[in-house]
């Protein structure tokens, strides 16, 4: 019987509650005599020694449940006869189906007793299952759990125990030659990075509660990063991290806040990623790293933000703030913008009034930087408030029926001027700031002039129309009077 035929027959037998040779037996239904195990134990087989400590042995399974054959037969040829279902070492690609007889979707007596999940289907739906289908050298059940001597997941001896699972994953994922067969573009330094992370360092010290590979990637249904269903797909990364980092009880021993996810959801970054599905927006791993996750230190925050906000970072490095922040060991960008709840950058951040960021350090009119701060705010307001005032004037002109579409379109250039000016704020130099704002101010001035002229033209036309109407009315009246005069003369002439 072929392996494929055996699997199909065994599935049908398990579903019907039968006991075919090689099919898993119910707990307590171990063969009275297991010559397979006895013989291999006598010859000092390490497999036999290991299987006696196996979770499956404790559940009542025998060698024949996986290898087939008849363990009750003392004769080796009879016990290992293909006619009795013997197949020897299962082919790698057939192992998930074999394990799936118990750990699958088909009903069996082990499911209720041991609360077995359908991990076979989960495996087949993931990247590892696809790799095995493509190449028999791909990963399958025994790649992670071992062969003989399989221990429960919660047993420290298990290769998938939290303190061991990263090494188990690294066995394949740190092997360039092996990984090249399946995905040449996938990095092979994830484990090395993990060892440098806070998670990896705590895990190495025996902390079984910190995140490991399976915490983020799942265990059996491991999906590719670009799969939207994956826990590490960009839009799902924050929720994946929050499973631990938003759990107050789980994080209590680590003495770190648990409001990061709530803050992030309300931030400009979170809104862009989670609400607008902008995959370019940063998630947790963008700033903290993924495999080498660590909280950015004082010296690294600016560099982390600068990966995306390069122009801002370069200007800040040349500013007076850089030296002052370094002297006081302040963490750069987050001092003004926050870390997880990063608010949209508005002009309100600049100033000395309530709610402004500058006022948190620069207090009172006597501060040497106060004049520069107020001038900076005035220049920013000239763009934002100036544009707002012009848009009202243009709207009024449009309501009067005047065409000001060209002037309204030109205001789009103000957006660029505002962006460049807000970036220049990081340099704290009035010259470059004025140069950035000047084109926008010029556009606003021209648009204001166009709006005023359009409104003036409207009233000029109305006045002209009124005068013309008056003249026409007077002429019509004079014409009427002249006609009446002519009619009277005609009547007099007829009367004579």
Give the 3-state secondary structure of residue 92: helix
For position 23, what pLDDT does the model report? Answer: 43
pLDDT band (50, 70, 90) for residue 28: very low
Distance between CA atoms of residues 267 and 60, nearest Å: 55
For position 12, what pLDDT does the model report? Answer: 35
Burial status of residue 171 (CB atoms within 10 A of its CB: 0-12, 13-18, 19 or more) = middle
Over residues 218-241, mean pLDDT? 95
pLDDT band (50, 70, 90) for residue 223: very high
Q: Which two tokens stand for residue 255?
A: 């003495």
Which position has the higher pLDDT, 111 or 473? 473
Over residues 260-266, mean pLDDT? 96
Whether residue 423 is predicted with pLDDT greater than 90 in this model: the reply is yes
- pLDDT 10s digits, 152-203: 999 999 999 999 999 999 999 999 999 999 999 999 999 999 999 999 999 9
For position 110, what pLDDT does the model report? Answer: 84
- pLDDT 10s digits, 97-129: 999 999 998 888 788 788 888 999 999 999 999
Among 219, 222, 215, 213, residue whose Cα is nearest residue 126? 222
For position 22, what pLDDT does the model report? Answer: 40
**Max avg pLDDT among 38-42, 332-336, 367-371, 452-456:** 452-456
Cβ–Cβ < 8 Å for 176, 185: no
Whether residue 14 is predicted with pLDDT greater than 70 in this model: the reply is no
Residues in the chain: 496
**DSSP of 95-108:** HHHHHTTTSSSS--
Among 120, 230, 232, 214, residue whose Cα is nearest residue 173? 214
Over residues 283-295, mean pLDDT? 90
For position 108, what pLDDT does the model report? Answer: 83
Which position has the higher pLDDT, 303 or 277? 277
C-alpha angle 227/230/233, rounded to 5°?
A: 75
Among 167, 201, 429, 396, residue whose Cα is nearest residue 320? 429
Whether residue 10 is predicted with pLDDT greater than 50 in this model: the reply is no
Whether residue 238 is predicted with pLDDT greater than 60 in this model: the reply is yes
**DSSP of 310-344:** HHHHHHHHTSHHHHHHHHHT--TTHHHH-SSSPPP
Q: Which two tokens stand for residue 283?
A: 């998630």
In terms of pTM, does the model score above 0.85? no
Over residues 453-464, mean pLDDT? 91
- pLDDT 10s digits, 53-69: 999 999 989 999 999 99
For position 495, what pLDDT does the model report? Answer: 77
Contacting residues for 110 by C-beta, under 8 A, at least 6 apart: 24, 26, 27, 59, 102, 116
Distance between CA atoms of residues 266 and 258, nearest Å: 15
For position 298, what pLDDT does the model report? Answer: 63
Among 410, 409, 390, 400, residue whose Cα is nearest residue 451? 390
For position 465, what pLDDT does the model report? Answer: 87
For position 190, what pLDDT does the model report? Answer: 95
Over residues 407-429, mean pLDDT? 94
Contacting residues for 316 by C-beta, under 8 A, at least 6 apart: 302, 322, 332, 333, 426, 427
Over residues 388-396, mean pLDDT? 96
Tell me the domain boundaries of the chain: 1-150, 370-459
C-alpha angle 177/183/189, rounded to 5°?
A: 65
Contacting residues for 151 by C-beta, under 8 A, at least 6 apart: 53, 54, 55, 157, 158, 161
Which position has the higher pLDDT, 234 or 462? 234
For position 32, what pLDDT does the model report? Answer: 58
Among 334, 225, 254, residue whose Cα is nearest residue 287? 334
């Amino acid at each position: 019987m072929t392996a494929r035929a055996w699997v199909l027959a065994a599935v049908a037998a398990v579903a019907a509650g039968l006991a075919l040779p090689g099919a898993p037996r119910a707990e307590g239904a171990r063969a009275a005599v297991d010559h397979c195990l006895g013989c291999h134990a006598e010859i000092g087989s390490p497999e036999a020694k290991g299987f006696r400590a196996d979770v499956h042995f404790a559940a009542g399974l025998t060698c024949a449940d996986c290898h087939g054959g008849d363990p009750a037969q003392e004769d080796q040829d009879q016990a290992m006869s293909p006619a009795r279902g013997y197949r020897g070492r299962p082919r790698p690609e057939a192992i998930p189906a074999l394990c799936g007889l118990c750990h699958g979707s088909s009903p069996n007596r082990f499911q209720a007793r041991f609360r077995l999940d359908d991990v076979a289907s989960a495996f087949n739906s993931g990247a590892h299952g696809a790799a095995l289908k493509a190449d028999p050298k791909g990963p399958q059940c025994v790649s992670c759990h071992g062969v003989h001597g399989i221990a429960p997941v919660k047993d420290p001896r298990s290769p998938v125990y939290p303190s061991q699972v990263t090494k188990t994953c690294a066995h394949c994922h740190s092997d360039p030659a092996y990984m090249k067969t399946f995905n040449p573009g996938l990095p092979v330094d994830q484990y090395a990075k993990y060892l440098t992370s806070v998670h990896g360092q705590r895990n190495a010290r025996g902390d079984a509660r910190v995140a490991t590979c399976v915490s983020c990637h799942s265990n059996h249904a491991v999906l590719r990063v670009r799969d939207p269903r994956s826990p590490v797909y960009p839009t799902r990364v924050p929720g994946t991290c929050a499973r631990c980092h938003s759990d107050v009880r789980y994080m209590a021993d680590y003495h770190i806040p648990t409001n990061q996810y709530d803050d992030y959801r309300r931030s400009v970054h979170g809104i862009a990623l989670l609400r607008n599905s902008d995959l370019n927006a940063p998630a947790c791993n963008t700033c903290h790293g993924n495999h080498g996750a660590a909280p950015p230190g004082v010296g690294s925050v600016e560099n982390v933000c600068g990966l995306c906000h390069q122009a801002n970072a370069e200007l800040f490095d040349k500013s007076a703030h850089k030296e002052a922040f370094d002297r006081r060991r302040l963490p750069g960008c987050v001092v003004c913008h926050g870390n997880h709840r990063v608010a949209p950058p508005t002009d309100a951040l600049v100033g000395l009034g309530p709610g402004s960021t500058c006022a948190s350090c620069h207090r009172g009119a006597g501060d040497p930087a106060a004049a520069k701060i107020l001038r900076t705010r005035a220049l920013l307001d000239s763009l934002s408030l100036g544009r707002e005032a012009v848009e009202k004037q243009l709207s009024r002109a449009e309501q009067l029926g005047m065409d000001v579409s060209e002037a309204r379109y030109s205001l789009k250039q103000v957006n660029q001027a505002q962006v460049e000016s807000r970036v220049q704020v990081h340099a704290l130099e009035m010259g470059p700031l004025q140069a950035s704002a000047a084109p926008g101010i010029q556009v606003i001035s021209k648009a204001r002039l166009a709006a005023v002229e359009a409104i003036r033209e409207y009233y000029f036309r109305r006045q002209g129309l009124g005068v013309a109407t008056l003249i026409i009315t007077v002429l019509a009246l004079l014409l009427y009077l002249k006609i009446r005069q002519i009619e009277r003369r005609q009547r007099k002439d007829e009367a004579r």
